[in-house]
């Protein structure tokens, strides 16, 4: 059986003490968790995963899926995450997978075999290259400590409400703190005889399994960090094989992965087989084409054409400072009674974090839109490491009278770290939607009874993925309906542009418009990318699509559509149009071929719309159109359009608007 290492000390759920050496023990924490939080890896598979390459992995049913059926990218509801306490169970930890889980272990026997056979190569500028087993790794000193992991796209949906980025819509819970256990990377590198780097020019490369993904020379996900970062014991870079005292789960990198406290999650390679010390940073496709904050106004096309992906100053490593509110929750209501107004209080709660081991020193609340701020109570369940580093999130709270909430239009929060970094008042859009951290604003709505306020309702800015809700979505929809010609807007919906994108295009604020047109202030690189990057430069984020397939005469029935499901001849329908996805593009699709093949032969509208797609993605899709599904005559054929349209806008029915839009567009 695959078992975790023996844990050394005891750990309470609400506090971590004496974080020297191997200190964070998860035994009591695990035993105290409610039944069902730890899923049996041999248990039931979610219906949504059946028919995908991941149809052997049990996953928590309450995780919010952000990229359709496949690949699996998810976050827990914020309230559910916060309810777990300081340490998150692995089954509720956010997941970022670029493709299928590449290490298939559907049974206990398969897990044991992978554990026994797995090797990690340590090569490059070392005197004693190694090829170590899991047993070899476990002989090195064990280090266990709680570490926060955060995806650089946390809170990206707010950016997508302004203008669609090239990333999908993370909500505010693309983060989690769990207890990671493994050996220090520095110990492993020294065992391999790593060479001195007095000038600080060397790097450590990491990659996952080859053939895992569609891009790059070998189809691996890879990246690198400076060698000095890896060798400094204060940085706690781990080669980890346990999470909360147990072996890693498939989605989190079984059997072994990298943990880099204070860094973004995109640097922490899962399913780790290869470590290499090299004279320059990694040339892996995903090292350059992901996890960057490019200047405002840079598009996917200009980023590739002008070489923006290769400028080192735009790479993301350390996390920035961020916070959000969990209480009040989205759509939470608060009754307003005479007793409440006489002195009752409400406790606002949330989380905050900072990067690079910096401490969150303040959490503040504003009830006047950010004009004035008041300090809350910050809780650090962890104590700093022996090097003074804080690797976890902080919790904060603020008690406010109900009477004050009654007089406010919104509640805002922001955090400060020990380097005096804080959050800006407004977001700055970037093409990848990375590191979004403006102050978090929760709107307050009032319900009246007999002329007085009887209830307060709270509204968060967005909901994760394609879940409806949030004041940003409501304001976008309202602005689009009131300030754009209805029929023109409906036609644009029918052609695949959502109400949100109509608003982003037509109603963007002057400040945002100026942001999106000021790229000239940033000079592009003057030197070409490295020679090893030729393949990347040629492909970029949006490679030239193959020639469009020939169009079909007449409508295409669902029966005919269902016949085209294999890799060589994949058809799918989206919004009533039928597309033939050629094999050459399956290799280029960012989500991998499996995400398309999983819905081939079907009407994939819902799956497609669950994922935010950029304008460039829509352009590529249109090239593959070969026909349309049959139009089904219905009630709207015999009813005047405009009265219904006005009624529908008033009701806010986006689905019905799409149906009506097709009638008008036709």
pLDDT in tens, 370-393: 999 999 999 999 999 999 999 999
pLDDT in tens, 492-544: 444 333 333 333 333 333 333 333 444 434 444 434 444 433 333 333 344 45
d(CA 156, CA 98): 17
- CA dist 86 to 61, 354, 360, 418, Å? 21, 16, 15, 21
Q: Is 80 exceeded by the pLDDT of residue 148?
A: yes
Beta bridge partners of 366: 412
pTM above 0.85, yes or no: no
CB within 8 A of 233, min separation 6: which ones? Answer: 184, 186, 387
Buried b / exposed e over 105-121, threshold 16 CB at 10 Å, is beeeeebeebbeebebe
pLDDT for 153 equals 98
Q: For residue 188, which phi and psi values (nearest 5 degrees)? A: -65, -40
**Whole-number average pLDDT of the chain:** 82
Average confidence (pLDDT) over 415-443: 98
Average confidence (pLDDT) over 354-360: 98
Query: Who has greater pLDDT, 557 or 440?
Result: 440
Q: Is 60 exceeded by the pLDDT of residue 649?
A: no
Q: Is 90 exceeded by the pLDDT of residue 99?
A: yes
Q: Could you write out the three-class secondary structure of 395-420?
A: EEEEEEEHHHHHCCCEEEEEEEECCC
Helix (H) / strand (E) containing 535: helix 534-539
Q: Beta-carbon neighbour count of residue 6 at 10 Å?
A: 10
pLDDT in tens, 295-318: 998 998 899 999 999 999 999 999
pLDDT band at 646 (very low <50, low <70, confident <90, very high): very low
pLDDT in tens, 47-62: 999 999 999 999 999 9
Q: Is 80 exceeded by the pLDDT of residue 660?
A: no
Q: Are 298 and 228 in contact (CB under 8 A)?
A: no
Per the omega criterion (within 30 degrees of 0), is the bond before 628 cis?
no
pLDDT for 666 equals 44
Sign of CA dihedral 279, 283, 286, 287: positive
What are the structural domains of the chain? 27-289 (3.90.420.10), 322-465 (2.60.40.650), 544-628 (3.10.120.10)
d(CA 260, CA 267): 7
């Amino acid at each position: 059986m695959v078992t975790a290492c023996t844990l050394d000390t005891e750990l309470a759920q609400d506090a971590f003490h004496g974080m020297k050496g191997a200190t964070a023990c998860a035994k009591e924490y695990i035993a105290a968790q409610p039944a069902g939080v730890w899923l049996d890896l041999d248990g039931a598979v979610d219906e949504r995963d059946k028919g995908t390459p991941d149809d052997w992995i049990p996953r928590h049913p309450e995780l919010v899926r952000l990229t359709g059926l496949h690949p699996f990218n998810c976050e827990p509801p914020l309230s559910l995450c916060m309810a777990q306490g300081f340490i998150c169970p692995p089954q509720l930890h956010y997941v970022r997978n670029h493709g299928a889980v590449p290490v298939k272990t559907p049974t206990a026997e398969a897990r044991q075999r992978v554990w026994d056979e797995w090797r990690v190569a340590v090569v490059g500028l070392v005197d004693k290259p190694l090829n170590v087993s899991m047993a070899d790794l476990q002989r090195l000193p064990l280090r266990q400590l709680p570490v926060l992991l955060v995806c650089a796209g946390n809170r990206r949906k707010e950016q997508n409400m302004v203008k669609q980025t090239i990333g999908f819509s993370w909500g505010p819970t693309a983060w989690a703190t769990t207890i990671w256990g493994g050996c220090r990377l520095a110990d492993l590198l020294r065992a391999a005889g790593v060479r001195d780097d007095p000038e600080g020019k060397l790097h450590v490369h990491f990659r996952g399994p080859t053939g895992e993904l569609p891009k790059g020379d070998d189809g691996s996900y890879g990246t690198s960090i400076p060698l000095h970062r890896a060798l400094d014991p204060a940085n706690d870079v781990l080669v980890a094989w346990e999470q909360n005292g147990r072996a890693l789960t498939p989605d989190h990198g079984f059997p072994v992965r990298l943990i880099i406290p204070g860094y973004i999650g995109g640097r922490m390679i899962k399913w780790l087989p290869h470590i290499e010390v090299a004279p320059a940073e990694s040339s892996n496709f995903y090292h350059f084409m992901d996890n960057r904050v490019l200047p405002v106004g840079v598009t996917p096309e200009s980023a590739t054409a002008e070489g923006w992906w290769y400028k080192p100053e735009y790479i993301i490593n350390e996390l920035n400072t961020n916070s959000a509110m969990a209480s009040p929750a989205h759509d939470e209501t608060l009754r307003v009674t005479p007793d409440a107004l006489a002195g009752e209080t409400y406790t606002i709660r949330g989380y905050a974090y900072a990067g690079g081991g910096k401490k969150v020193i303040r959490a503040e609340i504003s009830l006047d839109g950010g004009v004035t701020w008041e300090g809350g109570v910050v809780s650090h369940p962890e104590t700093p490491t022996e090097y003074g580093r804080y690797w976890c999130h902080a919790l904060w709270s603020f008690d406010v009278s109900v009477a004050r909430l009654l007089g406010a239009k919104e509640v805002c929060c922001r955090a400060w770290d020990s380097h005096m970094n804080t959050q800006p008042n407004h977001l700055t859009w970037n093409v990848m939607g990375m590191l979004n951290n403006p102050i978090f604003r929760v709107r307050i709505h009032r319900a009246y009874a007999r002329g007085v306020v009887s209830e307060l309702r709270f509204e968060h800015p967005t909901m994760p993925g394609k879940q409806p809700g949030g004041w940003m979505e409501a304001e976008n929809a309202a602005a689009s309906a009131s300030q754009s010609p209805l029929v023109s807007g409906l036609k644009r919906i029918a052609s695949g542009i959502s109400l949100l994108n109509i608003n982003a295009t037509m109603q963007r604020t002057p400040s945002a418009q100026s942001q999106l047109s000021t790229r000239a202030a940033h000079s592009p690189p003057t030197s070409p990318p490295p020679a090893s990057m030729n393949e990347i430069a040629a492909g970029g984020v949006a490679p030239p699509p193959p020639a469009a397939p020939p169009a079909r005469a007449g409508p295409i029935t669902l029966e005919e559509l269902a016949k085209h499901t294999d890799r060589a001849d994949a058809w799918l329908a989206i919004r009533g149009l039928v597309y033939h996805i050629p094999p050459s593009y399956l290799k280029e699709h960012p989500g991998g071929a499996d995400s398309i093949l999983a819905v081939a032969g079907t009407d994939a509208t819902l799956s497609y719309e669950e994922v935010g797609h950029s304008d460039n993605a829509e352009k590529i899709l249109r090239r593959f159109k070969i026909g349309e599904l049959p139009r089904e005559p219905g009630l709207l054929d015999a009813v005047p359009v405009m009265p219904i349209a006005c009624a529908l806008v008033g009701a806010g029915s986006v689905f019905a608007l799409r149906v009506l839009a097709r009638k008008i567009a036709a």
